Structure 1
């Protein structure tokens, strides 16, 4: 089925059309509010965790590698969603739940950046974070959450293997750059999976 036919079929279904429109509007609103939220979080003081794993890893700037992997996976799921709109619908609603839960956990778990943190240089992520350098959006990792959602929403086994490799790779790179504590990274797939199941159960 062509891209045009796939989307025409989806839009012609009232239920799918409503999910598509409402989900797109909600995620747009959430992303628009994110810079204000993160700027507020950045001004508060938190605690520094003793992370033995980070302490054993010398910090290095691997921003380019992180950027390539994350946005490469973003392009992959976008391509798959063009031919299968349901992937987009599930992803967008799961992302809404993840964003809301993540904003809640960041609000309640006040952490200062890990020792040795090197700010991530990602021009595209700056769209959601605003002009300021944000370093206190720690628990749980948004990078790993994004990749985990992509893994969960992809259908093909080969795509899932690539996504799994991307999750492991970025998890290691985040530790190398000291962007997150290890607990932020380890908790992210578990919380994200729960959000995904909740969103999918509610939708279908």
Structure 2
């Protein structure tokens, strides 16, 4: 078994299937990054339902954007540093993330929803600047992509203490987007399931390989 870090990447790069998986995963991720704003524009123009949500009705709405995205981006940074030393784990998480967004395209299509009553807009300092500078997205609801992303990272890391930390971050972000009334409770509760499904599908796609 090769050492972690650069030598692991050199070892993995010698495998043609790894090169294809990495290259296609990156290409799909780029296509999703540039394609999703157009899909969200379509979602935003649709009429949807407002769900009755007893939990949200009891929660006062506050803008928690800075706390939410501090947790999200710190979690992503720490997870990527960890996964950057483990190329096969990195590729599985990359494909899991792409599959999760493909599934989310389907769930958003099948569940047209309007934002919860009392919505306070989430302000993502990076995504809003790069992709949505003038048209905020409010109807990308089922399921919560922010919550699912952190759950997915917790499944992908190989360190027990980091997995526990990311699970705490997942729960915190799930709660914060509810406080912001940016999602329904069902959006947040469904997110871990779809993250797990995406991770499982990526594992099935690539089969059993060494966890480096």
> Superposition RMSD on alpha carbons, in Å?
1.2
Question: Is structure 2 residue 154 aligned with structure 1 residue 144?
Answer: no
Q: 1:147-193 CA distances to partner (integer Å, 9 max, x unpaired)?
A: 11101001111001101100111111011100100000001111221
Deviation of 1:128 (Å)? 6.6
User: 1:100 maps to which residue?
Assistant: 102
Residue range with higher mean Cα deviation, 7-16 or 122-131: 122-131
Residue range with higher mean Cα deviation, 58-67 or 191-200: 191-200
Residue range with higher mean Cα deviation, 125-134 or 60-69: 125-134
Q: Number of residues paired by the alignment?
A: 204
User: 2:210 maps to which residue?
Assistant: none
User: 2:111 maps to which residue?
Assistant: 109
CA distance in structure 1 between the partners assigned to 2:147 and 2:164 by the alignment? 15
Superposition pairs of residues 1-204 of structure 1, within 5 angstroms: 1=3, 3-126=5-128, 129-131=131-133, 132-204=135-207
CA contact (8 A) 2:4 2:86 kept: no
In structure 2, stretches of 5+ residues that fail to align are 208-212
CA distance in structure 1 between the partners assigned to 2:187 and 2:130 by the alignment? 20
SS at match of 1:45: coil
Q: Which runs of 4+ in 1 moved over 6 A?
A: none
TM-score, length basis structure 2: 0.93
CA contact (8 A) 1:7 1:85 kept: yes
Q: 1:21-60 CA distances to partner (integer Å, 9 max, x unpaired)?
A: 1111111111110111101111111010010000000000
